[in-house]
Amino acid sequence: MCPSADPPRPEAPPSVARGKTRPHIGVTTSRRSGWRIFPLVAFNLWLAGGRGVRWDTARPADIAAVDGLIVGGGDDISPDLYDGQLVATARLDTDRDALERRLVLAALAAGKPVLGICRGAQMLNVALGGSLHQDAYATYPGSRYRRTVLPRKTVQVVPGSLLARVAGPAPMRVNALHSQSVDRLAPDLRVAARDEGGMVQAIERLKDPFALGVQWHPEHLVYASRHRALFAALVAAARAGQDGDQIAEIRATAADPAPD
């Protein structure tokens, strides 16, 4: 009688299987503006030791082909995903909504880390069962509306949060281009930062796989070490991989950045 064979091991993503040192990170973008946004994200990933792969609704997107995921900024998320009411000022891309929701759920199910940027933070919350304020500044009148890529807004980082470990616990200077924000928080997520008016500015997952969402655009702030640290944390989690302890790896390798 022949001995039974061991069950087949799952195949590693191509970046690991081919022995490449840079984890491959899928980056979702708008078909309309991705040509100018993706290079900024890819540059930040390259500085952090990763390699970006651009995805949009016209390109194949398969979580099995990458080691992690960035959900980028863009249009508002349809309230159909969380039983909300559409506001007149919303600009929607329902095909992208469906793509990104699928990718977020697939990434977390596969044990692969996720970083959400602006719309991406909102999608992380919605995909996991949360909801959004569609007119965030009407809901939070104390949150000053400053639509700029420059760091003109201050957010308070929650003490003891993963964000505090990654980027430091001091208040952060950030930019702001969003009109929506987190309302009802999804299970397994917690608030990691708020602005002066109480609006949620960052959310994070309570357990592996690593998932962090920030309401601002760190890709525009590449000159600031605390914002580069967000991409470094994602790459560190991607290196740890499905069988590693991603959050422990981030805690072990993250420096305490000085305020920029």
- Residue-by-residue DSSP string for 203-230: EEESSSSPEEEESS-GGGGTT-HHHHHH
Annotation marks residue 100 as catalytic: no
Q: What is the DSSP letter of 19?
A: T
Interhelix angle 225-240/34-48, rounded to 10 degrees, is 70
Which residue out of 100, 204, 219, 249 is catalytically annotated? 219
User: Whole-angstrom Cα distance, residue 185 to residue 18?
Assistant: 39
Residues 6+ apart with CB under 8 A from 95: 57
Which residue out of 217, 220, 227, 249 is catalytically annotated? 217
CA distances from 170 to 7, 111, 114, 167 (A): 49, 30, 23, 9
Which residue out of 100, 118, 204, 220 is catalytically annotated? 118
Residues 6+ apart with CB under 8 A from 32: none
Task: Give yes or no for a contact between 209 and 107, defined as CB atoms under 8 angstroms apart.
Answer: yes
User: Whole-angstrom Cα distance, residue 29 to residue 32?
Assistant: 8
Beta bridge partners of residue 70, listed in sequence order: 27, 115
Annotation marks residue 217 as catalytic: yes
Annotation marks residue 219 as catalytic: yes
47's tokens? 């500085």
Residues 6+ apart with CB under 8 A from 50: 22, 23, 24, 25, 67, 68, 231, 234, 235, 238
- Residue-by-residue DSSP string for 121-155: HHHHHHHTT--EESSHHHH-TTS----EEEEEEEE
Active site residues: 118, 217, 219
